[in-house]
Structures are given as C-alpha cells and as structure tokens.
Amino acid sequence: MSDQQMPGAGHVSPFESIRLTDEEDHEYWSARDLATVLGYTNWRNFKYAIEKAMQACQNSNHETSDHFDASIKMVQLGSGAQRELEDVHLSRYACYLIVQNADPSKEIVALGQTYFAVQTRRAEMADDELAGLTEDQKRLYVRAQLAEHNRLLAAAANDAGVITSRDFAIFQDHGYMGLYGGLKARDIHVRKALKKSQQILDHMGSTELAANLFRATQTEEKLRRENIQGKAEANQTHFAVGRKVRQTIEELGGTMPEDLPTPPKSIKQIERVEKQRAMSDMQPSLFDDDE
C-alpha cells in the first residue's frame, strides 16, 4: 500500500498527497508544493510565512536547521529545458508553524492547521513520555490533560459570553456535534450505554480522548486568538473546530470517534487500581532487613 493511500479514507488529504521521503525514508515537504496547496501564487509572499515560522521555531528553542533545509527544486519548462527554483525542505513541525503563520482567510489554511497539528500531536504521543505506558495509563494521562484544558476552555468561553451552566452545556454540545457527526453529549452517553451518573469522558479510550483534547485546546486558542464574542459565535467556533478535527481524522483514515469501542473499565476504576498499586509499592516488604 502506498504511503499516500490510507484505508478507510474517502479521499487523500492534499497535505498527505505532497508528502515526500528521502533516501533514508525520512518524511519531508517541499515548500514550493506546500505553497501551491495553500493557494499562494507569489513565492515572495509565501517566503514571509516561512520566515515567521522559522522565527517561531527559534523562539520555541528548536534548531531551525532541523526543520527548515534550504534546497533547489528543478522544474520543467515548456521547451523541455529545466529551471532551478529556490525551495525549502520542511519537517512536519515546520509545516505546522508555516500554516499557523499563513493567510488565515484561506479555507485550506485552516484545514492545514488542523492536519499538521494532529500529525504533530500523534508524534508527541509516541514520544518517550508515553512510549512505555499501557493503554489504561495513557487514558489516565490524556484524561488528566483534558480535565485541565476543559477548565481553560471554560474560561475562554466565559470571556466570550458563555456565562450560565446551561450556556456552557449548549457550547459543549456544539463541539461534540462537530466532532461526532451531529451527536450531542446525551447521544454519545446513550451510544456508550452509560448510566445517568457516568461521565462520557471517563469511558473513552486514549484515541478518543486525544481527539477531544485536540478539539478543546484548538477551540480555546481560537476563541482567544480571534477574540470571539457572543454565545452564538462561540458555539459556532466550537462546532467548526470539532468538524475540522473530524475531517482530518477521516482524511488520515482513522475511525470516527463515535465508532471507537468503549473500554470495559472506566477512568475511575483505573484510578482505583493505580492507587492501590501505588500504596502496595509503598508498603515495606516483610522480608526487608531493618536498618
């Protein structure tokens, strides 16, 4: 199967279709190709986005040379001759920074922001911090992050005009509807066959939790970055972000969140087990020598 063909995807993401690999099978993107996909017709304008991205890379204490590699792209002319064009080979992270600094009025830029952020997030989840964790431990880790970011999201929504508990419930439903193809919180609750007292977030696997974490973080950032004001505007923003995350999951060939299996154990059950294990580890062995 080709790197660009993913099972279950209705179509290939335009960003996936231009992904390249070098002789050592390392992935990269051509800045020229990315500019074309993002709708830039003027290389000088796109170079400005690259320069801003390189500055952001440097400010985040990353080596720019690890993510931006100056290169030459050969293009075929009508006469059959070839012409050299300035190009830059980009890492996934570099692409993410570029689309964050690209023209926000272009719809494809918004899609690119979601695509590369999800890809970057997936890579982060595979880093050493989570590499040795079991699925249950990953669920605890991501659930804790989601709890924190839901608090930040609630604060951003409140600043936008989402005030009462009913307002916030409606706001949350818009995010779920975008991500879950129209399903509200109560619909997800029913789909998971949960009791009234059980929370849907406590009955999600790590993949489903990660999708919701990304929905929450990106909505909070968008509300603050664009200074969204008014309940209706905040609700629409949450829905739009959820829908973009869903669209990206589809383009990556992933399973829709509503179709992911519900784990047999809840987060609270896992927490009890982990707490008991921690307490057991703290108990001195009966066979330890007294010192």
Q: Is residue 235 part of a domain?
A: yes
> For residues 115 and 83, what is the distance between their CA atoms, to the nearest angstrom?
31
Q: Is residue 9 part of a domain?
A: no
Q: Are residues 27 and 152 in the same domain?
A: no
Per residue in 121-132, pLDDT tens?
Answer: 656 555 555 566
The whole-chain average pLDDT of the chain stands at 83
Q: How far apart are the first and last CA of the chain?
A: 62
Beta bridge partners of 73: 85
Domain containing 224: what range?
127-264
How many domains, the chain? 2
Look at 41-45, 110-114, 119-123, 248-252 and tell me which has the smallest mean pLDDT. Answer: 119-123
> For residues 87 and 265, what is the distance between their CA atoms, to the nearest angstrom?
51
Q: Is residue 202 part of a domain?
A: yes
Residue with tokens 């320069």: 51
Q: Are residues 36 and 79 in the same domain?
A: yes
- Mean pLDDT confidence for 178-207: 95
76: helix, coil or strand?
Answer: strand
Residue, of 87 and 118, whose pLDDT is higher: 87
pLDDT attached to residue 72: 87
Whole-number percent of the chain with pLDDT over 90? 48
Residue with tokens 């409140």: 158
Helix (H) or strand (E) holding 251: helix 231-251
Q: Are residues 91 and 133 in the same domain?
A: no
User: Is the pLDDT at 9 greater than 50, yes or no?
Assistant: no
> For residues 220 and 171, what is the distance between their CA atoms, to the nearest angstrom?
12
- Mean pLDDT confidence for 156-169: 95
Q: Is residue 274 part of a domain?
A: no
Asked if 65 and 73 touch (Cβ cutoff 8 Å), the reply is no
> For residues 243 and 81, what is the distance between their CA atoms, to the nearest angstrom?
45
- Mean pLDDT confidence for 134-143: 86
pLDDT attached to residue 127: 53
Residue, of 268 and 125, whose pLDDT is higher: 268
User: Is the pLDDT at 79 greater than 50, yes or no?
Assistant: yes
The two tokens of residue 156 are: 């951003």
